[in-house]
Amino acid sequence: MGFQPVKFYQTGTFTVGNRLLTPDERSLQSDKGRSNSINSGHRACQGCGEALGARYAIDAAVAGSHGQLIAANATGCLEVFSTPYPESSWQLPWIHSLFGNAAAVATGIAAAMKVKGKTSVRVVAQGGDGGTTDIGFGCLSGMFERNDDVLYICYDNQGYMNTGVQRSSATPPAARTATTMTVGKEPGNVFGQGKNVPEIAMAHGIPYVATATVADLRDLEYKVRKAMTVHGARYIHIFVPCPLGWGTASNDTIRMARLAKESGTFPVFEAEYGEVTGVLKIRHQIPVEDYLRPQKRFAHLFGEHPHPETIARLQLLADRNIRKYGLLNGHAAAADEANEHLRELRISEGGN
Amino acid sequence: MSNRPFAITLKPGTSLSNLTGTWRNERPVYVDRLPPCNNACPAGENIQGWLFHAESGDYQQAWRVLVENNPLPAVMGRVCYHPCETACNRGLLDESVGINSVERFLGDEAIKRGWKFDRPALVSGKRVLVVGAGPSGLSAAYHLARMGHQVEIQEAGPFAGGMMRFGIPKYRLPREVLDAEVQRILDMGVVLKLNTKVENIEQSMQGFDAAFLAVGAHIAKRAYIPAGDAAHIVDAVSVLRSMEGEDKPMLGRRVVVYGGGNTAIDVARTAKRLGAQEAIIVYRRSREKMPAHDFEVEEALQEGVLIKWLSTIKHADEGSLTVEKMLLDEKGVPQATGEFETMEADSLVLALGQDVDLSLLNGVSGLEIKDGTVQVAVNMMTGHAGIFAGGDMVPSERTVTVAVGHGKKAARHIDAWLKGTAHQPEAKHEIASFDKLNPWYYSDADKTVRPMLDTIRRQTTFDEVQGGLDENTALFEARRCLSCGNCFECDNCYGVCPDNAVIKLGPGKGFEFNYDYCKGCGICMTECPCGAIKMVPEET
Ligand SMILES: Cc1cc2nc3c(=O)[nH]c(=O)nc-3n(C[C@H](O)[C@H](O)[C@H](O)COP(=O)(O)OP(=O)(O)OC[C@H]3O[C@@H](n4cnc5c(N)ncnc54)[C@H](O)[C@@H]3O)c2cc1C
Ligand SMILES: Cc1ncc(C[n+]2csc(CCOP(=O)(O)OP(=O)(O)O)c2C)c(N)n1
Ligand code: SF4
Ligand code: SF4
Ligand code: SF4
Ligand SMILES: [Mg+2]
């Protein structure tokens, strides 16, 4: 991975902070004076992954732009829960227009800044998976193709959550939503072709594309900060579990993201100019079933009339990710790192 | 009237006016749970507490927190059977934290650097007599002195240490280490009178306000073995005791040890080092049933000690023994088989356990003696007011660590008793069991193995068998601790809250919840690596 994991300090870089590290080796989120771009009092559900992911990402983008950041926001939970008129949680200039045009609005802001000669001002666009992979897709592709100087962040909670959990093109196969009911021979969402927007972004050959989850803060911060060092079109796709839409316990939000990554269901990688340059390895691999089971949207796969063949198909999809991105061997690597650290300590002691 | 469009005549309000804390039906609270290691330590050490300082490399502070409960870390780090490590949660992850090896490192570091105990700040004016300078007596003396009492130890033997000197062999506990830790206690102003056997406690107690008895168990148990006149039979504790004197015991070339405890192992390993070609332990049951610890059996076997399982000694003669084979019945009790064999033996060492010499208690009223031990109440007081007792002479597991724990506990109760009050131990916190942790966050790291002396030197010298950790390996090992149940400032709760409802107070100060905004989602609780957050129902 691109960021330097700390080899062995009790929790290494797995935790948000770590008293044994110097402050500059800790995450931005561990800082007492972090910017809290999205403030308390927002109306997101208990345990909302999107609210958390947005603070993680925008705080890092604010730091990466030295506080000179403007955000354009698509309609969706993030916009609705943060800005019921006349309140706002946002601690930066923030513009809302429509459900489907955040990329275009951001492009316009970037152009305006250029015209005004405000070269230090940076622009971020953000939206849900519906606003990104469905209705905003045309605007987004245009932004990529023109290589506009915008960082676009998609918060993927795998459905239209704001309007009551309808299916989007990011909803996984077999999942129950309000529009993919658990009826018929193959209940839940269909096994379609899928629509992998990070890979579509890569196909545009833009400077930087990355995926991230709320379970890997250090990786997420590294990616946003890296994106801020680059000009041109950049895309980060963040996996943000939704307790309401998925039927998971509110305390399990981060755990669900971790299980998605550890099962291979959600591959975490980064790519430059269309080529994958790094993957976050699986540390302790788990079967996809362990990820599905706690979610009520997959409850029909278990219980009295289980669908083991559907679970097996979902496992195949995860296996394909693991193969394609080379996600295994994380555990061995971590153990090696600990041993290496010990060896280094011994060497520094005087070669015994 | 402003001529700006209506929608932006109003300044955007802040969402801070929306107190989302009202949504909550459960609230997170910070808790300190009891780490399983602390819970398992017979000396009541705050292991997680001292490891916390060792993790940051502050060894002196770590040592100071350690010695609040146990004044003998360098000894403990060598002879304790470390039940803490058996209980350690990390054992469920990969391998338990090497608590005992870090403890030894801290103890050795303190000796090397000359760290001293603080002199007691206050003087109570009370005098306490401690009988016996074994671990229990030394521990009680140390704690009583810290509380400001004047302490005198009367010890029958020529040196302090009890079984730590006259039982445990040098190759497990070098005497310089013991001496250094004893001296540090005496430096606090504790008076030690050697070669002073207490014959009658009531007489010796005159002029003292209370007494703590810790005379150990030194009388070797005997089994009736018919023997010829010329058979050479000795007992293990005398053999080990004479190792401390000028004249080393004469055991011969073929030494047979009878018994299956740690003492049997120690005496066989000692015989080997004294030049015996063969040291054979005869034990009536099987290896699984042997009370000696497995690692000690293993180390003895490595050194060439032989063990004859399922055998009892029937007769001893000059140069030979008659041994009967045994069989375990379905209850695991050895039964005679009637099959006999003869073994060559220049000497037979009996290691069948020890009894307590209770003669100093003759005539004392109110005492209750059962199975040869003195009964004590929960406050460690015997049936005679003002006389407390602990260690091997009271019913309990017989280890150095238990003895040290008794000394501490007795000291607290003696202190209260001298003040006319009763010591109320704090209620135990809930245990930080493994299911309370989120182990995801801990780095993968295998246990550091302590170096061992090579076998040839183990068979021929009394050099210490097990080596210690160096500063770097000790630091590494300390950092394997999961900090079970106690916040170690990882900032997870502060970072993972979607509602920014955790307030970070700064290094060493911990965190607070902002209940104005906390929605009670419980993410902080789930993602706290060490189980230091608990959700409690909101009162409605
Ligand atoms: C060979 C052997 C090996 C052992 N190895 C270990 C080990 O590795 N780890 C472990 O945890 N435990 C070990 N033990 C057990 C441990 O040593 C004892 O449980 C512990 O020392 C008991 O402490 P104590 O203070 O009660 O008594 P002791 O250590 O026996 O000390 C009692 C002291 O009181 C003195 N005394 C007795 N009578 C009088 C009197 N009337 N007046 C004045 N002084 C008196 C004695 O001289 C002695 O110094 C071992 C025991 C033996 C025999
Ligand atoms: C053109 C248009 N169609 C429909 C809507 C209604 N609408 C608002 S938000 C939303 C779904 C948002 O889903 P997503 O982008 O995934 O964001 P989420 O709420 O899941 O975070 C819909 C359908 C709208 N605002 N505009
Ligand atoms: S991990 Fe640390 S706190 Fe937990 S039981 Fe082991 S030594 Fe104790
Ligand atoms: S994560 Fe935040 S909102 Fe959730 S319970 Fe903890 S403090 Fe409350
Ligand atoms: S999450 Fe980390 S900082 Fe918060 S209470 Fe637990 S150990 Fe302490
Ligand atoms: Mg969505």
**A68: containing domain:** 15-287
Which token pair is B77? 């780090």
Q: Which residues contact A289 (CB under 8 A, 6 or more apart)?
A: A311, A315
Q: Nearest 5°: phi and psi at B26?
A: -135, 145
Angstrom distance (rounded) from CA A233 to CA A140: 10
The rounded distance, in Å, linking the Cα atoms of A155 and A234 is 14
| C-alpha A267 to ligand 5 mean position (Å) | 28
For residue B489 the two structure tokens come to 């400032």
Q: Is residue A246 within a helix (H) or strand (E), and if so which, with residue range? A: helix A243-246
Nearest Cα residue to atom 12 of ligand 1: B399
Taking CA–CA distances from A85, the nearest residue in chain B reads B12
The pLDDT of residue B126 is 97
- CA-to-CA distance for B454 and B519, rounded, in angstroms? 61
C-alpha angle B103/B47/B188, rounded to 5°? 65
**Closest among A288, A292, A157, A268 to A218, alpha carbons compared:** A268
Nearest to B301 by CA among B279, B286, B323: B279
B494 touches chain A (CB under 8 A): yes
Architecture of the domain spanning B40-115+444-478: Orthogonal Bundle (1.10)
CA distances, A291 to each of A18, A283, A297, B222 (Å): 28, 15, 12, 64
Provide the 10 A C-beta neighbour count for residue A275: 9
Residue-wise DSSP of B123-139:
----EEEEE--SHHHHH
For A43, nearest residue in chain B (alpha carbons): B20
Pairing of strands A151-156, A69-73: unpaired
Q: How many residues does chain A have?
A: 352
Q: Which residues of B touch A14 (CB under 8 A)?
A: 440-443
Distance (Å, rounded) from C-alpha B468 to C-alpha B449? Answer: 9
For every residue of B450-468, DSSP letters joined together read PPB--HHHHHH--S-SB--
Residue A113 resides in a domain:
yes
**Around Cβ A328, how many Cβ atoms within 10 Å?**
15
Select from A308, A13, A21, A40 the least CA-distant residue to A174: A308
3-state secondary structure of B415: helix
Closest residue by Cα to residue A106 from A158, A144, A134, A63: A144
Residues of chain B with pLDDT under 70: 1-12
A126 Cα: distance to centroid of ligand 6 (angstroms): 12
* Beta strand B127-131 pairing with B150-154: parallel
Which of B 17-36 lie inside 8 A of A, CB atoms?
A: 17-20, 23
In CATH, what is the architecture of B14-32+487-537?
2-Layer Sandwich (3.30)
Candidates A178, A185, A201; CA nearest to A269 is A201
Within 8 A by CB and 6+ apart from B363, the residues are B200, B202
- pLDDT digit string (tens) for A305-320? 999 999 999 999 999 9
Asked if A46 lies within 8 A of B11 by C-beta distance, the reply is: no
* Least distant ligand from the CA of A41: 4
Neighbours of ion ligand 6 (CB under 5 A): A 128-129, 157, 161
Reported residue count of chain B is: 540
Cβ–Cβ under 8 Å, residues B228 and B316: yes
pTM of the shown model: 0.92
Task: Decide if A40 and B516 are in contact by the 8 Å CB cutoff.
Answer: yes
Please give the number of the atom of ligand 3 that sits closest to the Cα of B88.
Answer: 5
Closest-CA residue of chain A to B499: A40
Contacts 24+ apart (CB under 8 A), A187-196: A187/A300, A187/A307, A188/A297, A188/A298, A188/A300, A188/A301, A191/A313, A195/A133, A195/A169, A195/A170
Radius of gyration over alpha carbons of chain A, in Å?
Answer: 20
Does residue B433 line the site of ligand 3, with CB under 6 A?
no
Comparing B127-218+356-418 with B228-352, is the CATH topology the same?
Answer: yes
Task: Identify all chain A residues contacting B488, using CB atoms and an 8 Å cutoff.
Answer: 10, 19
In-domain check, residue A325:
no
- B479: tokens are 């950092």
Pocket test of ligand 2: the residue of A38, A80, A163, A246 to mutate, having most ligand atoms within 8 Å of its CB, is A163
CB contact B14 to A (< 8 Å): yes
A213 in a structural domain:
yes
pLDDT digits (tens, 9 = 90+) for B11-28: 668 999 999 999 999 999
Q: Which of B350, B349, B369, B351 is nearest to B359 (CA)?
A: B369
**CATH of region B228-352:** 3.50.50.60
- Test site for ligand 5: of A15, A19, A31, A217, most ligand atoms within 8 A of the Cβ: A15
**Ligand 3 atom nearest B485 alpha carbon:** 3
Q: Do A87 and B480 touch (CB under 8 A)?
A: no
| CB contact (8 A) between residue B495 and residue A251 | no
Q: Compute the CA torsion angle B29, B35, B40, B46 (nearest 10 deg).
A: -100
Is the Cβ of B515 closer than 8 Å to some Cβ of chain A? no
Ligand 3 atom 5, closest CA? B88
Q: Which atom of ligand 3 is nearest to the CA of B87?
A: 5
Please state, as a whole number, how many other Cβ atoms lie within 10 Å of the Cβ of residue B169.
17
Interface mutation target, options A21, A30, A38, A40, chain B, most CBs of B under 10 Å: A40
In this structure, is residue A327 part of a structural domain? Answer: no
Question: What confidence score (pLDDT) does residue A349 get?
Answer: 41
> Chunked in runs of 10, what are the mean pLDDT values of chain A (352 residues)?
60 90 92 96 98 98 97 98 92 96 98 96 98 98 98 98 98 97 93 95 98 97 97 98 98 98 98 97 96 98 94 97 91 56 47 32
Q: Work out the minimum CA distance from A97 to partner chain B, whole angstroms.
A: 14
Contact present, B236 and B220 (Cβ < 8 Å): yes
- The answer to whether A233 and A150 have CB atoms below 8 angstroms apart is yes
Q: Which of B51, B492, B516, B536 to mutate to probe the A interface, most A CBs <10 Å?
A: B492
CA distance B40 to B89: 12
Number of domains into which chain A is organized: 1
- Kindly state the tokens that stand for A175: 């999942």
Residue A278, domain CATH? 3.40.50.970
- Chain-centroid distance of CA B121 in Å reads 28
Which DSSP string corresponds to B15-82?
Answer: GGGS-GGGG-SEEEEE--PBPHHHHH-TT---HHHHHHHHHTT-HHHHHHHHHTT-S-HHHHHHH---
Partners of B498 on chain A (C-beta within 8 Å) are 44, 47-49, 51-52, 55, 253
Quick one: DSSP state of residue A90? Answer: B
**Which residues fall within 8 angstroms of residue B245, CB to CB, at 6 or more apart?**
none
Our CA-based measurement puts residue A36 at a distance from the nearest CA of chain B, in whole angstroms, of 8
Distance A17 CA to ligand 5 centre (A): 10
For B:318-377, CB contacts with A below 8 A are: none
- How large is the ipTM? 0.93
Is B465 close to ligand 3, i.e. is its CB under 6 Å away? no
| Contact predicate B416/B91, CB 8 Å | no
Q: How far is CA A103 from the centre of its chain?
A: 18
> Which of A45, A50, A52, A75 has most ligand 2 atoms within 8 Å of CB, for mutation?
A75
Q: Give the ligand whose atoms come closest to the C-alpha of residue B438.
A: 5
Per CB-CB distance under 8 Å, the chain A contacts of B15 are: 39-43, 82, 87-89
Assigned CATH class of B127-218+356-418: alpha beta
The backbone region for B61, taken as left when phi is positive above 0, alpha when psi lies in -120 to 50, beta otherwise, is alpha
Asked if residue B294 lies in contact with residue B303, where contact means CB atoms within 8 angstroms, the answer is no
Query: What is chain B's percent helix, strand, coil content, to nearest 5?
Result: 35, 20, 45
Taking an 8 Å cut-off on Cβ atoms, the answer to whether B488 and A42 are in contact is no
Q: Answer whether residue A22 is part of any domain.
A: yes
Within an 8 Å CB–CB cutoff, is residue B441 touching chain A? yes
Residue among A191, A196, A166, A163 nearest A181 (CA): A166
Which long-range contacts does A223-229 make (Cβ < 8 Å, 24+ apart)? A223/A2, A223/A270, A224/A56, A224/A57, A224/A60, A224/A61, A224/A64, A224/A151, A224/A153, A225/A60, A225/A63, A225/A64, A226/A2, A226/A270, A227/A61, A227/A64, A227/A151, A228/A60, A228/A61, A228/A64, A228/A65, A228/A122, A228/A151, A229/A64
Both tokens of B349, joined, read 């060492």
Q: How far is B526 from chain A (nearest CA, A)?
A: 6
Mutation choice for ligand 3 from B41, B84, B90, CB with most ligand atoms inside 8 A: B90
Cβ B326 vs Cβ B312: under 8 Å: yes
**A338 part of a folded domain:** no
Domain locations in chain B? 14-32+487-537, 40-115+444-478, 127-218+356-418, 228-352
Q: What share of chain A is helix, strand, coil (3-state, %, to 5)?
A: 40, 15, 45
Indicate yes or no: CB of A346 within 8 angstroms of CB of B476.
no
